[in-house]
Amino acid sequence: MGKVVFHTGVANKVDYIARLVRKGSRQGARMVVVCEDPAAVSTTLWGGAPVDFVVHATAQSDAATWLASNVVLMTSPSVPGRDLSRDVLVNACEAWPEAHAHYLRVIELVGQAPGDVSAGRERWKKYTAAGVQPDKLG
């Protein structure tokens, strides 16, 4: 199990994810992003400056695109029959990612809404119960 970092107080998860993906891509990281609206993240990645575009796949992408993409955008941390071998998991959903141990780094995004904050606290507790000491950013 790698490092787990909580980014808290995130005002706009879609924009925040796009920034993380762009930064990770520049560093050569292979990423899985689990979020409520992968289409909005994809639109944001397409809508920036051409130099900011990041090749990405979704759960619906064909197998060749999936394998060629360093970034996969999904609503669930698993897709049957697809290889999720990536370095980084970005979790922007309220659910705790049971497959967290398969990643070198997990970035947990916690928004500002009360429900998101309480879900973030529950995820933190599950990590510590699993023997992982998360860090907090923000």
- Per-residue pLDDT tens digits for 56-84: 998 888 888 888 888 999 998 766 555 66
Counted domains in the chain: 1
How confident is the model over 116-135, as a mean pLDDT?
95
CATH number, residue 119: 3.40.50.10110
The encoded tokens of residue 18 equal: 């796009």
The whole-angstrom separation of Cα 107 and Cα 4 is 6
14 lies in which domain range? 3-137
For residue 8, the 8-state DSSP code is E
Q: Is 56 left (phi over 0), alpha (psi -120 to 50) or beta?
A: beta
Q: Which residues of 20-31 are buried (b: 16+ CB within 10 A; e: fewer)?
A: bbbebbeeebbb
- Per-residue pLDDT tens digits for 9-55: 999 999 999 999 999 999 999 999 999 999 999 999 888 777 778 88
Identify whether the C-beta of residue 5 lies closer than 8 Å to the C-beta of residue 117. no
pLDDT exceeds cutoff 80 at 134: yes
Q: Residue 90: what pLDDT?
A: 95
